[in-house]
Amino acid sequence: MSLTEADTRAKLIDPALHRRGWTEDLIRPSGDAEPSDEDIRITSCIINACNLVGIKVLDHIIIGKNKEDYHSFTKSGLIR
């Protein structure tokens, strides 16, 4: 699934402006917790859009097949 810029604003940024944050749950059929190039690209777009309206993105976490299998963009340095 790919998010367009309009989808990103409607699904993520607008709700965050009305509350103190949000979570987005997406199921990855493969169960692979490693971020894809698309994950990295869309996260960068989200961070840039949020910066424009003063929202700080704290992390993007991908959960794999089980709770011990995850990838944190902050811990890996992809979000600073």
| Domain residue extents for the chain | 5-72
- Give 73's pLDDT tier (boundaries 50, 70, 90): very high
* Better-predicted residue by pLDDT, 18 or 55: 55
Q: What is the CATH number of domain 5-72?
A: 3.40.140.10
Tens-place pLDDT, residues 5-54: 666 666 666 666 666 666 666 667 788 999 999 889 988 988 888 888 88
The model's pTM: 0.71
Query: 11-20: long-range contacts (C-beta < 8 A, 24 or more apart)?
Result: 12/46, 13/46, 13/49, 13/50, 13/53, 13/55, 16/50, 16/55, 17/53, 17/55
2, pLDDT greater than 60: no
Which pairing describes strands 70-72 and 61-63: parallel, antiparallel, or unpaired?
Answer: antiparallel
pLDDT at 46: 84
Six token digits for residue 48 = 């840039």
Contact 61, 71 (CB under 8 A): yes
* Better-predicted residue by pLDDT, 4 or 68: 68
